[in-house]
Amino acid sequence: MLQITDLHTYYGESHVLQGVTLAAARGTVTAVLGRNGVGKTTLCRSIAGLTPARAGAVVFDGNDITRTPPYRIHDLGISLVPQGRRIFPSLTVQENMAIAVNTTRSQGWDLQKVFAVFPRLAERRQNRGNELSGGEQQMLAIARALVARPTFLILDEPTEGLSPMLVAEVAGVIRRLKDEGTSILLAEQNAAFAVKVADYVHVMSKGVVVHSTDPVALWQNEEVKTQLLGVPAAVSPPNTRPGT
């Protein structure tokens, strides 16, 4: 569904993505892992058109979107849940979503469905963004992306700053979206979380993908785990995957 080939992205003269190549298959969860500063957010932004690449290609559903403006990429079905959530603090939960609703696609999420799946947001619907907890803000950021009715959802560090209980809740949401046919690209530092929900994983280091494999094989690779993912050697493998 998404094919990225030899992508190079800069901030001014700073060459951040130095030839990223990866693919994300339709109907799957594809994780992009790596330590802080390797270029995960830059990759998400390049796909969404917010920081366009200077060289290489992003092809989505057969369309070359490398230099397509962000609003057009959004219309094609890609929604980004940015790192740090970026919800509107002075708008209510309901208003944050209402401004994102896509009425041009007949199928998909609307406010009613969001409130059914995220009961916490339903309770908080009249609260303003700045009155929400970190976990509630993350759920709202995901919900806001969903009402745009994407076929491809990019989640940039959705578990950052969340308690283990809320991390588990985000995992549940990701599995549900996948079951409903949404394809997902998940950028994460939290490898232990990502391998539980991903079908395939790419590991980045210094602006390139250095390792692409399935989650079980990744978790068995002590060298990659300790050197590229910062997972302490003592952490035991998750014994419950996928889908649990």
Ligand X SMILES: Nc1ncnc2c1ncn2[C@@H]1O[C@H](COP(=O)(O)OP(=O)(O)O)[C@@H](O)[C@H]1O
Name the nearest CA neighbour of 89 among 132, 146, 147: 132
Query: Binding mask 165-204 vs ligand X (x if CB under 6 A, - otherwise)?
Result: ----------------------------------------
Residue 11 is a binding residue for ligand X (CB under 6 A)? yes
Residue 13 is a binding residue for ligand X (CB under 6 A)? no
Nearer to ligand X, 35 or 128 (CB): 35
Instruction: Tell which one of 1, 20, 24, 41 touches ligand X (CB under 6 A).
Output: 41
Q: Say how far apart CA 227 and CA 47 lie, in whole Å.
A: 27
Nearer to ligand X, 117 or 145 (CB): 145
What's the min distance (Å) between Cβ of 24 and ligand X? 17
| Residue 16 binding target from Mg ion, ligand X, none, CB below 5 to 8 Å by type | ligand X
What's the min distance (Å) between Cβ of 93 and ligand X? 27
Stretch that binds ligand X, among 30-38, 61-69, 108-116, 142-150 (CB under 6 A): 30-38
